Amino acid sequence: MIYRSHVLICAGTGCTASKSTDIEEALHKLLVEHGIDKEVKIVKTGCFGLCEKGPIMVIYPEGATYSRVSVKDVPEIVEEHLVKGRIVKHLLLGDKDAEDVAKSLENVGFFSKQKRIALRNCGVINPENIDEYIAHDGYRALAKVLTEMEPNEVIDLLKKSGLRGRGGAGFPAGLKWQFAAQAEGDQKYVCCNADEGDPGAFMDRSVLEGDPHSVLEAMTIAGYAIGADQGYIYVRAEYPIAVERLNIAIRQAREYGLLGDNIFGTDFSFNIDLRLGAGAFVCGEETALMTSIEGHRGEPRTRPPFPAVKGLFGKPTLLNNVETYANIPVIINKGYEWFNTIGTEKSKGTKVFAVGGKINNTGLVEIPMGTTLREVIYEIGGGIPNGKKFKAAQTGGPSGGCIPASHIDTPIDYDSLNELGSMMGSGGLIVMDEDNCMVDIAKFFLEFTVDESCGKCPPCRIGTKRMYEILDKITQGKGEESDIEKLEILADNIKKSALCGLGQTAPNPVLSTLRYFRDEYLAHVRDKKCPAGVCKALLQYVVIAEKCKGCTLCAKKCPVGAISGEVRKPHSIDVSKCIKCGVCMEACKFDAIITQ
């Protein structure tokens, strides 16, 4: 059936939380009422990326992008746009007066600076309909590989493309495939790591929700290349929408014969099953993930032997993450030469980042490697809210570190981030402003690792706990200068001796904040002050004499009698008596009491 208009509504987790399903229902009802439900097609898509402005709705053929749409706006959109053909300008995202609405987004930095490869279909197709994926070149790469290429040619192409693993460490994907292909074994497995545990990261979730078939297609290609007939996707149970769409995608691919026996009439057969995680961060580590699929406590194993030799159920196993797989069909369709033109010398292609924290445009962005942090924060991200100053960006989650304002012009790629003491990680990018305390942030990540440490090896189990205790002491105002040195010695030992990636990288948030914000640590231990005003134990309540009218209200409210002063004269707070309850500040009608 041919439709005159297509209405794309984002059905990712972010927009669903902003009630995009209600909008879809209201829209459908109104289309029926106006009798145009056979002319206008509603397409539920994956994430457009700009979650901050969600729910997002795009109407074609005009290409009008409406933002922060609410159920109340739906009648206007139907009556004006879909019935009368008049754009609802006040809902437009970007240039509201652009002559051609399709170009209204050209000057919106959020979109113009991006290059979408892994996210190519997110927000474009309906992820629950395999036909739409196929119409966008879906399964073309698989057909080409199965009918025209030998397994070693596929691996060769991948090696030449320079694609590096998008899960964190950046290991060359082609080499990984080659190792798995060369390993001897009667049975091999292909696994997909969709256990996206880094707090503040949701790239993989968006790919799975918006374009699940691209992962299935790439895993099948991998199966052909290394000689495996079974794949597993290990996905977080916390992502119910992603799980549901993967299940639908697998079912449809089986119906179409794109999974199962004799794919494309060849001798090659491949199947994929889902395995749900159960809330353990360490399962993102490759050996722990496989132990978990086997049905055990997800504890890591020593390497070597590497999974390529002895992985899942003791068999040679290839493991890549979601975003790595999502790149592969495009590389095969367009060739490695094309992929080589994007990115930097050693980091080819693009990287998806989940940008969050103190930034105006929170959401999902895909940028060519080598884009600077400044471009990401100010041009794509729209800067810091409330006129605050940019302090640092945190990448790599609990395994990564901070990039301070002084390095804001660093081009983002694997190697430059490593040099700065951070890492690419899976792609979480959290922006922090002057109100964030870096000691507190380091403590936050250590608390996370302490909680998520599986307990198998002592450096991680005991060492991270000791580091956390020292950080806690510092934020309580009980730190000594020797504590900083102790932190550094512990960090060094843990990095060298922990069993798996979780432990080996756990000290990074501390080391990186110490490297760039040492004075902030010193302020905590020497002066017993938290410059950002976050650590409660270090706050001091003071009266601003010029603002105080001497009304005595604060003195009456203070439960410990720490405030004194004559009527109609400025009062003062005795710091030694103050218990920092904050009652005085709430009571003051003249904003004369502040914390510092």
Partner 1 sequence: MGVCCCKESKEQKLDEIIAKYKDTRGALIPVLHEAQEIYGYLPMGVQKRIAEGLNVSLADVYGVVTFYTQFSLEPKGKYKINVCMGTACYVKGSGDILNKLSDVLKIKNGQCTEDGLFSLDACRCIGACGLAPVIMINEDVYGRLTADDIPDIIKSYKEKEAEAV
Number of residues that bind partner 1 (CB under 8 A): 53
Distances, alpha carbon 291 to alpha carbons 242, 294, 525, in Å: 22, 5, 43
CA angle 125, 131, 132 (to 5 degrees): 15
Output the six-digit token pair for 335.
Answer: 């060739």
Q: Which of 8, 13, 118, 223 binds partner 1 (CB under 8 A)?
A: 13
294 makes contact with partner 1 (CB under 8 A): yes
CA angle 370, 114, 65 (to 5 degrees): 165
Footprint on residues 174-213 left by partner 1 (CB under 8 A): 196-202, 205
Q: Which of 154, 454, 500, 538 binds partner 1 (CB under 8 A)?
A: 454
User: Within 13 Å of residue 16, how many CA atoms lie on the same side as its CB?
Assistant: 14
251 makes contact with partner 1 (CB under 8 A): no
357 makes contact with partner 1 (CB under 8 A): yes
User: By C-beta, is 200 or 307 nearer to partner 1?
Assistant: 200
52 makes contact with partner 1 (CB under 8 A): yes
Min separation Cβ 465 and partner 1, Å: 18
Which one of 49-57, 82-90, 318-326, 541-549 is the stretch in contact with partner 1 (CB under 8 A)?
49-57
In terms of Cα–Cα distance, which of 47, 82, 46 is closest to 64? Answer: 82
Contact predicate 90/80, CB 8 Å: no
Q: Which of 173, 180, 441, 484 binds partner 1 (CB under 8 A)?
A: 441
What binding mask, one character per residue, do residues 118-157 give for partner 1 by CB under 8 A, x or -?
A: ----------------------------------------
Task: List Cβ<8 Å contacts ≥24 apart for 388-391.
Answer: 388/358, 388/433, 388/434, 388/435, 389/433, 389/434, 390/431, 390/433, 391/432, 391/433, 391/434, 391/436, 391/438
Q: Which of 280, 538, 555, 562 binds partner 1 (CB under 8 A)?
A: 280
Contact predicate 502/407, CB 8 Å: no
Output the six-digit token pair for 40.
Answer: 């206008």
Min separation Cβ 122 and partner 1, Å: 14
394 makes contact with partner 1 (CB under 8 A): yes
For 407, the 3-state DSSP assignment is helix
What binding mask, one character per residue, do residues 295-314 give for partner 1 by CB under 8 A, x or -?
A: xxxx--------------x-
In terms of Cα–Cα distance, which of 229, 228, 232 is closest to 250? Answer: 232
Distances, alpha carbon 118 to alpha carbons 50, 340, 388, in Å: 16, 15, 33
Residue-wise DSSP of 267-299: S--BEEEEEE--S-GGGGSHHHHHHHHTTS---
Min separation Cβ 220 and partner 1, Å: 21
- Tell me the residue length of the chain: 596
Task: Kindly state the greatest CA–CA separation across the chain.
Answer: 94
Min separation Cβ 535 and partner 1, Å: 12
Which one of 10-18, 92-100, 122-130, 588-596 is the stretch in contact with partner 1 (CB under 8 A)?
10-18
278 makes contact with partner 1 (CB under 8 A): yes
Which one of 301-309, 370-378, 425-433, 485-493 is the stretch in contact with partner 1 (CB under 8 A)?
425-433
245 makes contact with partner 1 (CB under 8 A): no
User: By C-beta, is 199 or 561 nearer to partner 1?
Assistant: 199
DSSP state of 54: P
User: By C-beta, is 161 or 394 nearer to partner 1?
Assistant: 394
252 makes contact with partner 1 (CB under 8 A): no
User: By C-beta, is 320 or 395 nearer to partner 1?
Assistant: 395
Sign, Cα dihedral of 560, 565, 569, 574 = negative
14 makes contact with partner 1 (CB under 8 A): yes
Binding site for partner 1 (CB under 8 A): 13-14, 16-18, 50-52, 54, 196-202, 205, 237-240, 275-281, 292-298, 313, 354, 356-358, 362-364, 394, 397, 428, 430, 432, 436, 441, 444-445, 454
